[in-house]
Amino acid sequence: MRSSRFLLLAVLVLLAACGDLLGVKRQPFTIYAPTYHAPTTAAAAPAVGWQLVVETPQASEALNTPRIVVMPSPGVIEVYPGARWSDPAPALLRNLMLQGFAQSGRILGVGSSTGALNADYALAIDLQSFQAEIRSDGWHAVIALQARLLDYRTSRVVAAKAFAVDTPFAARDTAAAFAAFEASVQQLVSELVDWTLTAGTAAQKPR
C-alpha cells in the first residue's frame, strides 16, 4: 500500500513538472458563495412545532456542477470562465434553504438528510434551472424548481408547488451575475420557507 502511495505521488510530481516544462499555466478563478438573509417580517409569522429534513435537490448533470452555467440560447450550455460556485448548485441551494428555515426562527428543528433528525416532513426538490440566460431583452439570473413536501414516515406527498424567480441584470461580468443570483436566492428561499411551513401545518391538522 505504501509503495502504491509513493508511486502515485511520484506520478503527480512528474505530471506537475511536465506541466511547468511545457509552459502550462493554471488559470485562476473566483469562488462565489451566495448568502441568505431572512426578511425582517419573518419573525412575526407563526411558528410551527414540527421538524423538517431538507434533501439535496435532484438536478441534471449540466446543473450538478460548481461551474456557473450560462445559456446564450435555448438548449445551448456554456459556463463563465474563471468563476465557480462554492459548491455544486444542488448542495449550494440546499445549504441556502437550511439557512432560510433556521433564520426564520419559526421551526422546531431543521437539518439535512445526513443528520440524525427525528423529522416529521422532508422537503424534496427537483432543480430545473440555476443559470444565467441571455435573451433578446438582456441577461437574467434564473432559478426554477419543483418542491414536494413529504410525510417523513410514509414518503407520501402532502403538498407540491413550482417556484421560479427571474432577476434581470445589465452587465455581462460575473460580479453582476452574482448579485442577480443573490437577489433570486433571496426571493425564492423566502417564498419556499413560507410555503413549506404553511403547507406542513395544514397537513398536520388531519392527523
Report the candidate in 120, 103, 105 with the shortest Cα–Cα distance to residue 54.
120
Which of 45, 148, 154, 152 is CA-nearest to residue 101? 45
N- to C-terminal Cα distance for the chain? Answer: 57
Q: Do 189 and 97 contact (CB within 8 A), yes or no?
A: yes
The helix/strand/coil state of 102 is helix
Confirm if 180 and 168 have CB atoms less than 8 A apart.
yes
Q: What is the pLDDT of residues 14-38, one digit of tens each?
A: 334 444 444 555 678 899 999 999 9
β-bridge mates for residue 167, sequence order = 141
Could you read off the pLDDT of 163-179 as tens digits, one per residue? 999 999 998 889 999 99
Name the band, by pLDDT with cuts 50, 70 and 90, for residue 47. very high
Question: For the whole model, what pTM was predicted?
Answer: 0.84
Assign domain 2-204 to its CATH superfamily: ABC-type transport auxiliary lipoprotein component (3.40.50.10610)
Give the three cell numbers for residue 158: 402532502
Residue with cell 422537503: 123
- Per DSSP, 62 falls in state T
What is the residue extent of each domain of the chain? 2-204
> Which one, of 136, 145, 139, 126, lies nearest residue 189 by Cα?
145
